[in-house]
Amino acid sequence: MIVLLTDFGSKDPFVGIMKGVMLSYHPTLSIVDLTHDISPQDVAEAAFVLKTSLAYFPKATLFVVVVDPGVGTNRKIIYVETSRHRFLAPDNGILGWVLEEENPVRILEVKNSKYFLKPISNTFHGRDIFAPVAAHLAVGLNPEELGPAMRLEDLVSSPLPKPVQEKDGSWRGHVIYIDRFGNLITNLWQSLLHLKGDEKVELFLKGKTFKGFAKAYGNNHQNGGIVLLNSFNTVEVAVSHGNAAVAYGVKKGEEVVLRCLTSSS
Amino acid sequence: MIVLLTDFGSKDPFVGIMKGVMLSYHPTLSIVDLTHDISPQDVAEAAFVLKTSLAYFPKATLFVVVVDPGVGTNRKIIYVETSRHRFLAPDNGILGWVLEEENPVRILEVKNSKYFLKPISNTFHGRDIFAPVAAHLAVGLNPEELGPAMRLEDLVSSPLPKPVQEKDGSWRGHVIYIDRFGNLITNLWQSLLHLKGDEKVELFLKGKTFKGFAKAYGNNHQNGGIVLLNSFNTVEVAVSHGNAAVAYGVKKGEEVVLRCLTSSS
Amino acid sequence: MIVLLTDFGSKDPFVGIMKGVMLSYHPTLSIVDLTHDISPQDVAEAAFVLKTSLAYFPKATLFVVVVDPGVGTNRKIIYVETSRHRFLAPDNGILGWVLEEENPVRILEVKNSKYFLKPISNTFHGRDIFAPVAAHLAVGLNPEELGPAMRLEDLVSSPLPKPVQEKDGSWRGHVIYIDRFGNLITNLWQSLLHLKGDEKVELFLKGKTFKGFAKAYGNNHQNGGIVLLNSFNTVEVAVSHGNAAVAYGVKKGEEVVLRCLTSSS
């Protein structure tokens, strides 16, 4: 199974063309769209979506990740295998959060043009490199054919923002993703902050203070903002039956501070 | 076959994750997207889309409907079987219009957590309950395993707007859906009003009067608004080669009155 | 394999319903979405997408193209076979660019209502004609059953804009497509202008002059506009890491002039 994650959107035929290329090699291939609406060239957003999604896909799924502002320059394309999944992606840090969680067992540079479409454009490697290489892998190509091995430390280091802990124990992070409901998703990961979800917390955002944790979107009776641990296992600010991004005028990148009121108990 | 209808949009990975869960159980499952762009939390819009679509899908298709503002509260999840189709949905009235047309032969509350993903989040039951339950049903699970039987009268009653007939015989209804072309689709159902499509009618909307019925979008020579019986079998206001919602500044919920000029002949 | 290209968007259930109809006839049919976000009723945009995509799909793929402002009027529906592909489309010039490149070996008018859904609406032939006819073809219907043969010269002629060459050798064309990254794609086709990509060129657009050709989006150090030969083999104006349509306030239809500085060398 191949899973596609791109910033190609749904208007242009880019994704359809990639599928055409793959199905030309392998007509019964199963291709699933994770999303194609990553904000254009937003490597961090794609990294977040990938990290929070991949546990729900079958073992050995091949994730083809094409969020690639450097297409056509000398950035590398890499093939990575972990004990659970496989990835084709540009070497731009996009696999950073994944590789903190899953140890790579094989990293290769994708160089062997034998498996590319010709001529290779400078602007659409999704069609000319990613799609045909993915299809070849799906029909059983030995990945070693793709190119030379790389070491983890050879990869471009991840540009992804990390939260920091202040002296008073509070955590300073950022809104890293806003979903279609306007929920403000932060990089305050449950596992990193050792949160269980039953703590009392205060979250500070744009001069406002929010109390948490709420248990669900729907059970808020004040009709204001709520803080909860979401299904991605990060801290989130939401408005019940509303849109927090609009209500508070928040954009991606906004700073948040979380203080655990019951942390010392 | 499984058909998905949600308000998850295409930007976030929610739909892709649901597919990942289902395909983890059943790699060759056939999954069709009806739409994921229901306006957020708009139960009536989803009910309309479902009612007007389901006749075109094969018998026994399982519709998985996740427009669920009450996720994580004590709202129930239900499994409903009619003589033609099967449904998994929150118990929030979303199946109201369907169950006026197709008699339910089995209604069950989905309670048996044996078929859920663990841990169950409070915010993403699409992933944790709907997807795995749908996959279990697709591989042959006896639905009786899901939970106790319910009666039709136990379900949350439908919040869906209905047209009313005035003393003078005219019908007062609402714009319940606006499609991407800006066509204004009303709840004046052809069957309810006993319309054949060859009547002369007047429709009143925002102080304007429109004449009908036109036969098609393209054959209007006045270049103004037209009234027609659309492919959903409801009364619709459209602008030939234009956008009626923009032209007349109409939003969902706007009132319409239809008068049949040839009804007494 | 069936490929769908429409202006139905993703919000409405139109595409899902078409798939339901097709899968009702043929449950294991492979259906690929090229795009459904063609600008409403924009025949030229669909023609461009089709022309630049079809080489990447397997031989004998059936393209079902429903961008059809004349639905329900007396416009014809046609079935066209070339040596490489098959097409179902309204007869409105939408296949114009394709038929300049691939010679048709069979053109038929789709008239035999035996293969349509009944009743046939006047507004949704995608569901009532295109989908069931496509499914019948996919299960082996002899196309001759669809209706009478037509000649190429009987088809509605293409409304698609063409570039013209000026006396001084420069080419005057138009922006015919703007992709999601804001790249301005022109109808200055590489093949028509006999471009190799290593020429020095000047492009004039809205009073500005751009130099080309750049090799890739990412390798521009001036942080301004660049001109390149894109993956569709046409001349394109882009802004590295930015959005050219926004930066220069350009809409589809804007005129461009390209001058080859090294054409006489």
Q: Is C260 left (phi over 0), alpha (psi -120 to 50) or beta?
A: beta
Quick: pLDDT tens for C18-37.
999 999 999 999 999 999 99
* CATH number for C198: 2.40.30.90
**Residue A209 DSSP class:** E
* Confidence (pLDDT) at B262: 81
Is residue C45 domain-resident? yes
Q: Is the pLDDT of residue B67 over 80?
A: yes
Q: In what order do the strands lie in the sheet with A2-6?
A: A31-35, A2-6, A62-66, A86-90, A77-82, A104-109
**A92 and A215 together in one domain:** no
Strands C201-205 and C62-66: unpaired
**B63 and B171 together in one domain:** no
- Residue B62 — very low, low, confident or very high, per pLDDT cuts 50/70/90? very high
Q: Is the pLDDT of residue B64 over 90?
A: yes
Query: What is the average per-residue pLDDT within B103-128?
Result: 95
Taking CB atoms and an 8 Å limit, are B73 and A241 in contact across chains?
A: no
Measured between CB atoms, which of C9, C23, C75 is closest to B58?
C23
**C96 and C137 together in one domain:** yes
**H helix intervals, chain C:** 14-25, 43-53, 96-101, 125, 131-138, 190-193, 244-248
Whole-angstrom distance between the N-terminal and C-terminal Cα of chain A? Answer: 47
Backbone phi and psi for residue C125, each to the nearest 5 degrees, phi listed first: -70, -20
**C81 and C172 together in one domain:** no
**H helix intervals, chain A:** 14-25, 43-53, 96-101, 125, 131-138, 190-193, 244-248
Instruction: Return the closest-CA partner of residue C3 out of C40, C55, C45.
Output: C55
**For residue A80, what are the domain limits?**
2-154
**C196 and C225 together in one domain:** yes
CB proximity C27 to B under 8 Å: yes
CA count, 13 A, side-chain hemisphere, B174? 13
C-beta of residue B159 within 8 angstroms of C-beta of residue B91 = no
* Confidence (pLDDT) at B12: 95
3-state secondary structure of C190: helix
Chain B residues within an 8 Å CB radius of C121: 230-231
Is residue A254 domain-resident? yes
Taking CB atoms and an 8 Å limit, are C69 and B218 in contact across chains?
A: yes
Q: B–C: how many Cβ contacts below 8 A?
A: 90
The identity of residue B159, as a single letter, is P
C-beta of residue C99 within 8 angstroms of C-beta of residue C76 = no
Q: Is the pLDDT of residue B264 over 70?
A: no
* Confidence (pLDDT) at A220: 56
**Pick from C104, C126, C154: which residue ends a domain?**
C154
CB proximity C33 to A under 8 Å: yes
Chain C residues within an 8 Å CB radius of A13: 34-35, 49, 52-53
Quick: pLDDT tens for A47-78.
999 999 999 999 999 999 999 988 888 999 99
- Residue C217 — very low, low, confident or very high, per pLDDT cuts 50/70/90? confident
Taking CB atoms and an 8 Å limit, are C73 and B219 in contact across chains?
A: yes
**C65 and C6 together in one domain:** yes
In terms of pLDDT, which residue wins out, B261 or B223? Answer: B261
**A88 and A128 together in one domain:** yes
Q: How many domains does chain C have?
A: 2
**A170 and A146 together in one domain:** no
**Pick from A112, A132, A154: which residue ends a domain?**
A154
Taking CB atoms and an 8 Å limit, are B72 and A180 in contact across chains?
A: no
Query: What is the average per-residue pLDDT within A88-108?
Result: 94
- Residue B2 — very low, low, confident or very high, per pLDDT cuts 50/70/90? very high
CA closest to A215 among chain B residues: B122
Quick: pLDDT tens for A117-161.
999 988 899 999 999 999 999 999 999 999 999 999 999 987 788
Is residue B265 domain-resident? no
* CATH number for A114: 3.40.50.10790
User: Which range has the worst mean pLDDT, A36-40, A200-204, C217-221?
Assistant: C217-221
Is residue C265 domain-resident? no
Q: Is the pLDDT of residue A265 over 60?
A: no
* Confidence (pLDDT) at C197: 86
Is residue B64 domain-resident? yes
CA-to-CA dists, residue A137 to A79, A130, A140, A143, A145, angstroms: 10, 11, 5, 7, 10
Taking CB atoms and an 8 Å limit, are A72 and C35 in contact across chains?
A: no
CB proximity C19 to B under 8 Å: yes
Is residue A212 domain-resident? yes
CB proximity A148 to C under 8 Å: no
* Confidence (pLDDT) at A25: 94
**B82 and B15 together in one domain:** yes
Q: Is the pLDDT of residue C265 over 50?
A: no
Q: Is the pLDDT of residue B138 over 80?
A: yes
Q: ipTM, 2 decimals?
A: 0.90
**A147 and A26 together in one domain:** yes
**Pick from C125, C154, C183: which residue ends a domain?**
C154
Q: What is the mean pLDDT of chain B?
A: 92
CA torsion sign, C205 to C209 to C215 to C221? negative
Chain C residues within an 8 Å CB radius of B57: 20, 23-24
Is residue A82 domain-resident? yes
C-beta of residue A4 within 8 angstroms of C-beta of residue A36 = yes
**A192 and A135 together in one domain:** no
* Confidence (pLDDT) at A264: 41
* Confidence (pLDDT) at A188: 96
Q: In what order do the strands lie in the sheet with B86-90?
A: B31-35, B2-6, B62-66, B86-90, B77-82, B104-109
Residues with Cβ within 8 Å of C55's Cβ and at least 6 positions away in sequence, in order, are none
* Confidence (pLDDT) at B263: 56
* Confidence (pLDDT) at A263: 55
Query: What is the average per-residue pLDDT within C246-250?
Result: 95
Beta-bridge mates of residue A227: A212, A237
Taking CB atoms and an 8 Å limit, are C69 and B241 in contact across chains?
A: yes
**C169 and C255 together in one domain:** yes
C-beta of residue B199 within 8 angstroms of C-beta of residue B171 = no
